[in-house]
Structure 1
């Protein structure tokens, strides 16, 4: 079994567990614990904090340690977290529930960054985009399937097994990563952890390609979080449609992400990377403007089409920019580079959510949508005004080596 296939199987288990947590935390908190909106908000924040606070430490670990060992540790951390979460539901411990979810989240972060560092060691640069696409497909598939399944079957009578299923996914991932080959650990370098983090950030800022990727990701994720906050008021209060429209729209988004990943896996080697790197953020602007074409009480089809387009282009962009990151970053700094960009992404999301909520409450959902379209426009400009627009092939970038 190839390394990419093992990572793909491990990704199926880990992303299944992660999506169960994303969808299941608020549902289980309400059904099993009768949690208030404030408590649910705190639990969801715990998940976000794991990604925000865990990325930098995880990047340092990835750069210094043997990848197979780190992958095993990441999956074990998540497995223990999900087992603890499932046990907390059965025992009725809300504190244990929150702690388990947070621990599992740290494992997910470490796993994702480790995979990004293993892939360029396992395939040649000419096949990097296809490998990244294959590894991305399980996440996209889980983002489509899990909300639909959980939404259909979860109830007070079935809530006990939700996080047991997440633990099962992590267990399957553990068996897959156990068969990974051993890779050489990163060479330890002088300096404090803070200095190493600063080095990673400085490298991102010094590289025009990585700087553009970070800017594009920052504005896109800021806009997406603001959009999610805006959608329910727009659907229910302005368009006078059923709130379930939002759930179907998110399913369309997940289906598009899987479709985009599948297309990238098949055709990434035949399409100029620059086209994908521009199409991803560029398609987001008309996608969100489609939402403004819906009339009160009218058909929700433009909403579904908008969310499908919003998932299609950016999912292909994600794979392309992962490949660029892996090729232009020195191997002994790749963990920190990825961690800096991940932290940028997860730092932008709460800010976008706050801005979206403020605009909806102070103006109107339509104004917030226009604001989101402008933010997506800035994401496109970050790519269009950079050297990303001129990348003809991944082979032209070459694999950066540490000096």
Structure 2
């Protein structure tokens, strides 16, 4: 009989009943937390490095952000299939090592004046691509390292650290740029990835690679990835609710990426805010998202899923329309920006969690992963184009006018939802639903965020 403090795993090894007593899980959690903090710190450090050190113009900043986001479009549908063929510890450690090298090299090159925009584009592309693989790998590693009855506890711990990094990362990145200079901040960001590497490498539990379900008798034969991807795409296109979510997500991500490119120029150049003030303003989305997650547990069942989706998207996206009117000292503009980003984070997270519940309700268990990946692919696939457009608009129309236009474009998302059957969903989810999960992936709007079902 196992003791009260441990259980026997499928492989015969004793596994502590509390995950926090499990040294391997603690190492995974520390590594994932450090990696997420490094990723979200870099999301603000690299653009500020381009603007403040390389004097990048609007078009160049748009290109930089588009290049950093491109791996989400190019790799997100395939990363899962590739990660399944490798041990997740190997994937995570390799991506940590790569990101440490890239950010450290960029920081040193910037200090000595050797860094140019082409090299920074390579760094942004590499960090973005490696981050896609790390994010897929750490989610797969939970299933392989944690007993099934502890999965909820494990996922809650890991997603909690992701949310904390989304809150603290931008603020920390802005503070590092303000206090140490942008090149030193980039090199400092590499420390987080190095810490993640050291922690992940210390995981000792033997990890088996799952057999391919399509060919269990021939595990060396790769699964039919394209066929599975096509089935996921067909399912989402054929469901009116999921199709609407895709369209609304694509409209939001395109306009949001364009707006953020202009926004990152507007704050330091038009409002003359320091790097620390920029990071503080952006970090306000995090506390707002925590409030939005709490509201999502009550409001849809009281007022209806459709009305909550449309109203929250309209409020969260519309609040940015007041930002182009800001002038004056930081004593006035910073509190206003904090309020804007707080409202944006709260409404955005309310939309994210509500949409996630709807998606899970209308999607069969065997299609959940592919439905989520398809929505992410379609939505985030428009982000690089939006970033490019934001840079070009800022060059041609000026920063303030472009900010107003791109913020107005974000209102397309609630319009798409309001004109669809999704807006008429009542206080109960569709019949035959799966149990909605309101403690799933947190997706805070902000630079470098990786939303799951963001539509507004």
How do residues 189-204 of structure 1 correspond to structure 2 at under 5 angstroms? 192-204=224-236
TM-score for both structures, normalised by structure 1:
0.73
Among 79, 87, 94, the alignment partner of 1:77 is 94
Measured after TM superposition, the shift of residue 398 of structure 1 is 0.6
**Is the Cα contact below 8 Å between 1:284 and 1:376 reproduced in 2?**
no
TM-aligned CA distance change 1:61 to 1:294, over 3 Å: same
In terms of fraction of residues, the more helix-rich structure is: 1
1:390 alignment partner, SS class: coil
Matched, 1:216 2:251: no
2:262 & 2:316 partners in 1: Cα distance? Answer: 16
Among 254, 258, 261, the alignment partner of 1:229 is 261
Among 269, 272, 280, the alignment partner of 2:300 is 272
How do residues 169-180 of structure 1 correspond to structure 2 at under 5 angstroms? 169-171=195-197, 174=200
**Is the Cα contact below 8 Å between 1:228 and 1:353 reproduced in 2?**
yes
Matched, 1:166 2:201: no
Could you tell me which runs of 5 or more consecutive residues in structure 2 were left unpaired when the two chains were aligned.
1-17, 216-221, 437-456
Matched, 1:397 2:433: yes
1:41 & 1:263 partners in 2: Cα distance? Answer: 30
Aligned to 1:312: 346
How do residues 240-259 of structure 1 correspond to structure 2 at under 5 angstroms? 241-244=271-274, 248=277, 250-259=279-288
1:151 alignment partner, SS class: helix
2:271 & 2:310 partners in 1: Cα distance? Answer: 33
Among 377, 381, 387, the alignment partner of 2:422 is 387
**How many residue pairs end up in the alignment?**
389
Q: Deviations over 1:9-64 (max 9, x none)?
A: 55422211212332333566799xx76749887765542222221212114346xx
TM-aligned CA distance change 1:45 to 1:351, over 3 Å: closer
Measured after TM superposition, the shift of residue 128 of structure 1 is 12
How do residues 12-51 of structure 1 correspond to structure 2 at under 5 angstroms? 12-26=33-47, 37=56, 44-51=65-72
Measured after TM superposition, the shift of residue 81 of structure 1 is 1.0
Matched, 1:145 2:175: no
Aligned to 2:128: 105
**Is the Cα contact below 8 Å between 1:88 and 1:96 reproduced in 2?**
no
Measured after TM superposition, the shift of residue 208 of structure 1 is 2.7
Matched, 1:284 2:302: no
TM-aligned CA distance change 1:332 to 1:148, over 3 Å: same
1:75 & 1:115 partners in 2: Cα distance? Answer: 7
1:327 & 1:321 partners in 2: Cα distance? Answer: 10
Q: Deviations over 1:134-167 (max 9, x none)?
A: 3642342233432233223333884584243132
Task: Indicate the RMSD between aligned Cα atoms, in angstroms.
Answer: 4.6
TM-score for both structures, normalised by structure 2:
0.66
Matched, 1:339 2:373: yes
1:329 & 1:124 partners in 2: Cα distance? Answer: 24
Could you tell me which runs of 5 or more consecutive residues in structure 1 were left unpaired when the two chains were aligned.
none
1:158 & 1:387 partners in 2: Cα distance? Answer: 48
**Is the Cα contact below 8 Å between 1:256 and 1:309 reproduced in 2?**
yes
